[in-house]
Structures are given as C-alpha cells and as structure tokens.
Chain A
C-alpha cells in the first residue's frame, strides 16, 4: 500500500535518478537496458495512477509534506493521468525500438548521452503532466526542453545543429514568456498552486496585470505546442533530429504542451471570464483552422518525409486546438482524445520512417521507390497509421474526427465541421504520394538491395498500429477518460 501512495513522486523520481546513472556509466547497452526498464516501469505506474484516479477521483501528493498552497503539490486527475499514460506509453515503445536505431544513427561515444537525455526528457514531460504548481511546471518544462535540444542536436546531419539552436532560442523565449505570465499572476494572487490560482484569479481578473499574464501565457505555451503561426521551429527540428528522437518527440512533446495549455489557460483562467472577453476561443479556432490547412498543404510539397510529417503534426495540433476552442465538454473531450490518438499514429509513422532510414539511409520520397515490396511489414504499418491520419473508419483518426465534427455541429459551427473534413482530403494527398512511390513505382537498384528492418523496430511499430486499430474499433475506454477530464475542465470555465 505504501508504494501506491508514493506513485506520483516515484513516476518522476525514477527517470530522474536513472538519467545520471546512465550518464556516469557511459555504457550504451547498459544505458539502453536501464532506459527500457525505467520507461516500462513508468508506464506501469502511469496506468496504475489512471486506474486509481478513474476509481477514486483526484490524487494529491505533497512534496516534502508541506501543505498545499505553500508547498509543491503533485495533483493527478483524469486529464493528468491520461497524459501521463500517453507519455509513458510512447516512451516505453520508443525505448524498445531505440537500441538498433541509435546504433545506426549515433556515434558510439555519444550513445549513452542519448539514453541519459531520453530519460531526462521523459522525467520532464511526466513532471509537467503531474505537477500542480505553476512554477514547478516551468522547471520541468525546461528539463524536458533542454534535453530535447540535445536529442535534436545529436542528429548526424550538420543541419541538426542549426535546427537545435533555433529551437533553443525560440523555445527559451516561449518558456520565458510562460514565467513572465506566471510571475504576473503570482503578483496579483500570491500563490503558485494551480488550483489555488484558479480560485483567486477571478477576483482580480479586471486588472491589466492579470490580462497581461494571460497574453504572455497563451503566446508562451503557443510556441511550445507549435500552434500554427508559432510552429516555425518544429519542421527542421523533427527533420534533422535522429529518427528515434523524432519518433519520441512527435508523440509526446507537443502533446504535453497542449496539456499545459488546457491546464493553465483553461484551468486557471477559465473562471475569470477573460477567455471570452479576450476572444481567446475565437482566435484559437481561427488559428486551428488555418493551421490544419497550411500544415497539411505544406506537408504535400516536402521531399523529406520526416519534414512532411512534421508539418502534418502542425496540422494535427490544429485539430486538437479546434476541439479545445469550442470550450464545450464534447469539444474538449474530442481534443483530449485526439491527443492520445495522434500520439499513437504519429509515433507509428515516425517509427516506420526510422525503420526505412535504417535500411535505405534516407527518408526522401524518391529514395522509397518500390520499397513497399522490399519492406512489407514496415510499409503496411506506415499505411495503417497513414490511413488513421486521414481519418478512415476502423482507426483512431476516425474516432477523433467523428467527435470533433459532432462537437462542431453541437456548437453550431457548421462551416468549421466542413473545413475539418476538407482538410482531411489534404492528408489523403500526402499519405497517398508515399503509398504510390512505395508500391507503384519501380524499385531502383538501391532499393532492390533493401531488406526488412530488424524486428526490434518493426514490432514496436506494429504494437502502435495494433493500438491504432484497437482504439479505433472500441473507443469507449479512451472516450470515457477524455469525457471525465473534459467535464472537469469545462466545469471551471465561466459561461
């Protein structure tokens, strides 16, 4: 029983302590073993927490035993637990596939660094999801961001360095905006506890200080989640990072940032009435809709597939934000469930691309001619995840879009529902062009020599694809969690 009480702390502490061990040992294989062990135990803990929260309501854990508004509180409700499961699951799957891909893409003397940074990043992302303290969130945000910059900079291509540098500059500005916002809110309320802030902010909502705080927070978190006009750091970072880093980051980093948006902007400022007054939902809907189209349209023209699907991520963040912008329980639930669904399919896609890169040494579209017959397992997995990205029935993508459109219709924004459908057509284009090249083009001499990727990469990809289909067939479980989380969030939003 004791262990169960400490789950919220252990979830963060275990990867935090494992990272320096990997760092000191400097043995890549041992570091991989530790990462695998830690990420799977994190997954077990996260699933345990989700079960506890769904049964018994929110869990609160006081760090150091200091009482809540003064000390740092770890607070887990349905939304936190759901995000924890997403991050831990993606981490666990990626850790499985990591060994062979890291051996292929990262020089021997830097491999241990990858695992140390992977664990630190995992720790930061889990910490962001679990903490109930606004400043503590910033610390975890920076832990995850700093390790992410290294994960990107480890790429073989020298452009990885400039991509990491740009990401560092933009990411730091985003994080600093977040601190400014939190500082201004603290100035007016004298508290950093998110639940406490949500109670106290409505009383001071009329001050310009709090309004400025909201503006800083929206922009700061907007940068971190790569919402449409603030997404410029993302494509290069994803394209030139080592493939396995991309697979991990694409499934987790922006998702956790969206969670922060939900928790901070909706959770803390929901009761102030400022959101409606400042037209945040309208603004969000517009940038979400533009993001869907621009992201998908740009994705079509990219020769580099990692870049292409990075742009697709920008579009997918648009879908999530569209659901959020409706501010209704259905809309929020659709957004939250798409967090999970998108994490599954995008990680599957990037893992498939990892496998392709291992065999062909390139993920440019022209290098993939005829590869569908040479690497059938990988490419069929890619196809399944791609169909889900389009939103074909029997996949999770369909579930997300179904609920998104339902929420849009419920809110009376018919044109937006049509736009969501239309933008899916763009996804058809950028997925189809890969299918066409992979199966219907003649194999070149280079691709004739290609063989199927090792099972350690293919199996994790297929596990994700199985999840894509499984949760597409039966979405009751994920939707139940998303609805609980959404109804809790929407209760706090002033009409």
Chain B
C-alpha cells in the first residue's frame, strides 16, 4: 500500500478530521446525539484506517499495546470510580447530582466523566480487536498455538 500516493495522501487528509469528529461526538454528547461509545468507535476507526494504509506495525508503534491496556482498564475504572465518588459525596452509587455544587452541574460533570471513561475503553477495545486480528498469521496451521 505504501506505493499508492492517492491512498496515502487522502488518508493523511482524512485521519485528522476523523479524529476531530470523534472528539466532537464525544463532547457534544451532552447536548445532542453522541457519546462515548460512538466516539470511541470513530476514534478507533481513524487508527484502523491508518493501519490499513501504513501497515499494522506503524499503527502499533503509534498506539502500543501497553497504552491500550491502560486505556481499557482506566476507562472502566474511571466509570466505576465516578460512581464511587458519588457514594463518597453522600449519594447512592452513580448519583451524579451530588458531585457538583448544583444537581444539574453535578449531572453534567458526572455524565461527562462517565462518557470519557466509556470512550477511552471502547476506543482501546476496538483498536485492540483490530490489531489482534490483523497482526496474527492464521495460516500457521495445525498445532500452532
């Protein structure tokens, strides 16, 4: 694929906008359609496009397995941690209203953080699923595990 200038150039043009759009979907989720899951998938799609054009190993270098693991675990912990924070602040588990000075502000903050956690996790998971499948030579045949 390296030799195809059209693909390389158009990918380089597209990828920043894909990532930007993902961020828009992530942060606009408060006011319109969108949210962490959709944003995470779109963000991962940017990386997957990069991997398709420039090779899996280059994409892996941009997003090493260790960082994906931290994003995955960190996303879940952020989500669950916001719930525990609500508990510590005197509400029930996942009660965001107690997080801010006003209940509405608290709900905004809570949903923002939770969606961020979801986005991190989904992005890392989808990217990992792709890398794991793409980076594996399945034709090793019998007894190859």
Contact = CB atoms under 8 A, between A and B. Distances in A.
A–B contact at 8 Å CB threshold (below): yes
Interface of A: 6, 9-10, 13, 16-17, 19-21, 23-24, 26, 61-65, 158
Given A6-B87, A13-B83, A158-B145, A20 B76 contact: yes
Interface in B29-74: 69-70, 72-74
B97 A20 contact: no
* Residue from B69, B70, B80 having most chain A Cβ neighbours under 10 A: B80
A64 B95 contact: yes
A26 to B, nearest CB: 8
Question: Which of A17, A19, A23, A26 counts the most B-chain CB atoms under 10 A from its CB?
Answer: A17
Given A64-B86, A64-B95, 18 more contacts: A6-B87, A6-B92, A6-B93, A9-B83, A9-B87, A9-B92, A13-B93, A17-B77, A20-B76, A21-B73, A24-B70, A24-B74, A26-B69, A61-B93, A62-B92, A63-B92, A63-B93, A65-B92
Contacts of A13: 80, 83-84, 93
A23 B73 CA distance: 7
B96 interface: yes
Contact of A16 (B69, B74, B80, B86): B80
For chain B, give the interface size range: 20 to 34
A65 B83 contact: no
Contacts of A64: 86, 92-96
Contact of B93 (A9, A21, A24): A9
A20 B69 CA distance: 9
B91 interface: yes
A24 B69 contact: yes
B76 A16 contact: yes
Which of A21, A23, A61, A65 gathers most chain B CB within 10 Å? A65
Nearest to A3: B87
Contacts of B80: 13, 16-17
B73 A20 contact: yes
Contacts of B95: 64-65
Interface in B100-145: 145
Nearest to A19: B76
A63 B93 CA distance: 6
Would you call the interface of chain B mostly helix, strand, loop, or mixed? Answer: helix
A8 to B, nearest CB: 9
B107 to A, nearest CB: 10
A287 B81 CA distance: 45
Nearest to B91: A65
A201 B83 CA distance: 33
Given A6-B87, A9-B87, A65-B97, A20 B92 contact: no
Contacts of A20: 72-74, 76-77
Contact of A21 (B77, B91, B97, B145): B77
Contacts of A6: 87, 92-93
A204 B74 CA distance: 45
Nearest to A17: B80
Contacts of A16: 76, 80
B80 to A, nearest CB: 5
Contacts of A63: 92-94
Contact of B92 (A19, A26, A61): A61
Contacts of B83: 9, 13
A49 to B, nearest CB: 15
A64 B77 CA distance: 17
Contacts of A19: 76
Given A24-B70, A158-B145, A17 B76 contact: yes
Nearest to B96: A64
Nearest to A62: B92
B77 A23 contact: no
A19 B121 CA distance: 14
A188 B86 CA distance: 34
A61 B83 CA distance: 14
Contacts of B69: 23-24, 26
Nearest to B97: A65
Contacts of A61: 92-93
Contacts of A158: 145
A16 B77 CA distance: 9
Nearest to A12: B93
